[in-house]
Amino acid sequence: MFEFKHKNILDTDQFSKEDLDFLITKTKQMEKLLESGKSFGILRGKLLASLFFEASTRTRLSFEAAMERLGGRIISTVGFQFSSISKGETLYDTMKMVEAYADIAIIRHPVEGSSRIAAGAVSIPVINAGDGAGQHPTQALLDLYTIISEKGTIDGLSIAFIGDLKYGRTIHSLINLLRHYKVHLYLISPDELKLPDSYKKNLSGFPISFEETKDIKAIWDCDVAYVTRIQEERFTDHMEYERLKETYKVNKELILASKKNTTVLHPLPRVNELSTDIDDLPNAAYFRQAKYGVVMRMVLLCTLLKVPFGD
Ligand code: NCD
């Protein structure tokens, strides 16, 4: 029997192909349990600390929904202003308190690497729910699960990433998982927002291949188009954001011209880059993608808490 050995989920580098196969299999099982109403009670008596020091809708609500649907409970803090961090308390001391109160913690924080510091302070499992422009591993896992659910497979697909490849942590994380599969990537961005070299270097030695382009029409050759928001809050020069924010707009006309019945994903929130006229096309999978976040996060909570479920 395969054993998932990780204490924390901090970074997509930590996962082997076997880890991914395991999590995908368990998520399929969890979907069945959830549908049949049998998931409630699996985490009865367990407490999740939900620590969000940066804006969130889907990640926080889906983690909290996941815990509730498993019969567990939640304690939470949202924003620095309502935590003693605003009085000068360190993240280390905050985490020492969280460890005393809860069985597992999720943390979103604007500083890259902060979830690793948080995890290092405590013996309970810690999940990175997004650390600045760094990583967002649980989003990447649910994105991977969405691609499998929508397309039936990952090997052999061509996948486009469109938008802010420089600051987009969901892109950094998903590309790192996709390197375990035989896929071809089209990295579509303006020059200023290209994927950082460190992420490109991470792909060498894996079955994945990629090409970079500025041309949005490259999505016509793709099975999946992963559209992203230009990450306004990460820019040091606001004028540059203003200049780049309207670079791409993925709309119905563009999608209907695709040769490949392209599935459209987006981690959301969307701003200018994804037109609402796509929403009623079967290709638009982004709301289903957000929904898959609940089951994937149910699996992660059970797995890190070492509470068995399914076959
Ligand atoms: C993303 C994030 O926070 O990185 N949202 C999410 O978690 N679904 C994407 C974004 O903010 O653009």
Q: What is the pLDDT of residues 127-155, one digit of tens each?
A: 999 999 999 999 999 999 999 999 999 99
Q: What is the C-alpha end-to-end distance of the chain, expressed in Å?
A: 11
Coil, strand or helix: which one is 276? helix
**Rounded distance from Cα 139 to ligand 1 centre (Å):** 8
pLDDT > 90: what percent of the chain? 94
Report the atom number in ligand 1 closest to the C-alpha of 164. 12
Q: Do domains 12-134+293-304 and 137-290 have the same CATH topology?
A: yes
State both tokens at 63: 């983690």
Ligand 1 pocket check for 58: Cβ under 6 Å = yes
**Rounded distance from Cα 36 to ligand 1 centre (Å):** 30
Place of tokens 């979103």: 108
Ligand 1 pocket check for 128: Cβ under 6 Å = no
| Class of 12-134+293-304 in CATH | alpha beta
**Rounded distance from Cα 170 to ligand 1 centre (Å):** 7
Is the per-residue pLDDT at 194 higher than 90? yes
DSSP strand pairing (209-213 vs 184-188): parallel
**Rounded distance from Cα 238 to ligand 1 centre (Å):** 19
| CA neighbor of 222 nearest in space, from 233, 232, 231, 211 | 211
Q: Which fold has domain 137-290?
A: Rossmann fold (3.40.50)
Ligand 1 pocket check for 229: Cβ under 6 Å = yes
Domain ranges of the chain: 12-134+293-304, 137-290
Is the per-residue pLDDT at 82 higher than 80? no
**Taking a C-beta distance cutoff of 8 angstroms, is the pair 151, 223 a contact?**
yes
Which strand ranges, in their side-by-side order, compose the sheet holding 47-52? Answer: 73-78, 47-52, 104-109, 126-131
Ligand 1 pocket check for 94: Cβ under 6 Å = no
Closest residue by CA, ligand 1 atom 12: 229
pTM equals 0.97
Angle formed at CA 53 by CA 50 and CA 56, multiple of 5 degrees: 75
pLDDT the model gives residue 225: 98
Coil, strand or helix: which one is 261? coil
Report the atom number in ligand 1 closest to the C-alpha of 55. 3
Report the atom number in ligand 1 closest to the C-alpha of 293. 8
